[in-house]
């Protein structure tokens, strides 16, 4: 009975670890979809709603760029795909 309890405990720990891993995988996927690296300094920047106009949050950078093109924000972006 003692060894059964031990293996049951081991099983529960494995299940917990598996759940944790799945959860982490899911949150990584979300981050991948809503963040892109700044084209200038490569820090991950979170997308703000349906707006394609991105601004780097880094004080030393403040690069303004287009989520859609991955380039510096320009007139074409503003006229063509400012919003989703
Ligand atoms: Zn930047
Ligand atoms: Zn663009």
Contact by Cβ (8 Å): 57, 43: yes
For residue 77, the ligand closest to its alpha carbon is 2
CA–centroid distance, residue 56 to ligand 1 (Å): 4
Average pLDDT over residues 47-63: 93
CA–centroid distance, residue 30 to ligand 2 (Å): 22
pLDDT of residue 52: 95
What's the CA gap between 8 and 11, in Å, rounded?
5
Task: Please say if the pLDDT value at position 2 is more than 70.
Answer: no
Domain-wise residue ranges, the chain: 1-35, 38-84
Both tokens assigned to 63: 């690069």
Average pLDDT over residues 56-78: 96
Contact by Cβ (8 Å): 68, 76: no
pLDDT of residue 58: 96
- 77 noted as active-site residue: no
pLDDT of residue 6: 73
Task: Please say if the pLDDT value at position 47 is more than 80.
Answer: yes
Both tokens assigned to 43: 């820090």
For residue 39, the ligand closest to its alpha carbon is 1
- The residue ranking higher by pLDDT, 13 or 83, is 83
Contact by Cβ (8 Å): 54, 45: yes
């Amino acid at each position: 009975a003692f060894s059964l309890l031990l293996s049951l405990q081991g099983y529960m720990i494995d299940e917990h670890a598996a759940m944790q891993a799945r959860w982490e995988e899911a949150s990584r996927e979300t981050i991948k979809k809503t963040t892109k690296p700044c084209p200038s300094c490569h820090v991950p920047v979170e997308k703000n709603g349906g707006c394609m106009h991105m601004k780097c949050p880094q004080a030393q950078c403040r690069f303004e760029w287009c989520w859609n093109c991955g380039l510096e924000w320009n007139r074409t972006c503003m006229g063509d795909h400012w919003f989703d």
